[in-house]
Structure 1
Amino acid sequence: MSIRHSLLALLQDRPRYGYELRIEFEDRTGAAWPLNIGQVYTTLDRLERDGLVSKDGDDGGGHVVYSITAAGAEEVAAWFAGAVDRGNPPRNEIAIKLALAVTLPGVDTSAVIQSQREVSVKALQEHTQARKAASGSKGSMDTAGLLVLDSLIFQAEAEVRWLDLCEARMVQAHGNGGAN
């Protein structure tokens, strides 16, 4: 996830200070990815160093206000115009855990799969309930929040299906005399 580009995009609306950016990011993404305020200010420092934002003084309450520069606006426009690179997939702790489980003696891989499936199904149920509640409420959630929930639902569904496949492969490996 590009915090850098997300903060630049939010600064296109209007100048803001760090805590406002954090709250606005979480509001617009349905709080699915909470930001550490230290991460926000570290990113703002780097953006300023790179000439993509500038400090506009303070808001009268002691908060340093940042605004996007022309170079920052160009960078965020390029970010929106381009696709997210899938060339280097992010590390997937579950896949790493299972890959190691099947290659190490004494690890009950079926138990590892079952434990993860329970967590993944629970997450799927929670996201689905949140989506139903958001869709059915009078003050329905905004489109951005619904998109994030839909993404989380699809990811959880895919994870459960993948765990089913892992379990089937383990059964097949045992049937063929494979380890673990």
Structure 2
Amino acid sequence: MSVKMGVLALLVGGPGYGYQLRGEFEHRTGGSWPLNIGQVYTTLDRLERDGLVARGDADDDGHVVYTATDAGREAVARWFSEPVPAKRGRDELAIKFALAVTVPGVDVPRLVQVQRGSAMRALQDLTRLKRTTDPADDLAWSLVLESMVFQAEAEVRWLDHVEASVTRYMPPAARTVLDAERATAAPVEGTVR
């Protein structure tokens, strides 16, 4: 997500200053994307430079208050009306597996198990958190949380695909060595062999 558009969207809802905007952003996203206050002020400077916000006078506490301009409101309306591009490019996990299947000596099945164990623990934590969240009380956080659950589920499904692909396409000699090593290795906590 664009921090720029997130901050600008908050200002469309009403004027605000840096710390206030950071707090509101983190509240609405359940703290799933913490912002550095320096990042917020840098973003505000860029938004002002681009004519999307206007810097106002300081409030009674000395905070410089920003408001969205007409151009800023139009930019947010456009942002909300357009789809977010699908994730493309660098995905550390995909790159890690792409390299693992080509680097000699990497126990790819074990790597799958370790990653699956981590993803399953994350999914369990998110599911527990979801049980304590009432969408009627905090719809914004509930939506972010459910997105995180879906992403964790997708990672587990993708790891199942990786495991099947490794079994199907890895050279038999490499697979035999890996299968033998895997048979003698201790299971990853939380996984079933």
Q: CA deviation at 1:91?
A: 2.1
Residues 33 and 129 of structure 1: CA distance in aligned 2, closer, same or farther (over 3 Å): same
The number of aligned residues is 176
**Paired residues for 1:85-100 under 5 Å:** 85-86=85-86, 89-100=88-99
**Cα displacement (A) at 1:39:** 1.1
Q: Which runs of 5+ in 1 are unaligned?
A: none
SS of 1:135's partner is coil
Deviation at 1:111, TM superposition (A): 2.2
CA distance in 1, matches of 2:174, 2:57: 65
Give the corresponding residue for 2:164. Answer: 168
Name the SS of the counterpart of 1:62 in structure 2.
Answer: coil
Kindly indicate whether residue 74 of structure 2 is the aligned counterpart of residue 74 of structure 1: yes
2:141 matches 1:145: yes
Aligned to 2:126: 127
Shift of 1:169: 1.2
Indicate the SS of the match to 2:132: helix
TM-score w.r.t. length of structure 2: 0.85
Aligned to 2:36: 36
* Greater than 3 Å deviation, 4+ residue runs: 174-180
Segments of 5+ residues of structure 2 without an aligned counterpart are 179-193
Cα RMSD over matched residues? 1.8
Change (3 A) 1:129 1:90: farther
Q: CA deviation at 1:117?
A: 1.1
Counterpart CA distance in 1 for 2:172 and 2:62 is 68
Higher Rg of the two aligned structures? 2
Q: Distance in 1 between matches of 2:170 and 2:79?
A: 47
Tell me the TM-score normalised to structure 1 length. Answer: 0.90
Give the fraction of aligned pairs with identical amino acids, expressed as a percent.
53
* Separation of aligned partners in 2, 1:166 and 1:20: 44
Deviation at 1:84, TM superposition (A): 0.7
Displacement, 1:32?
A: 1.1
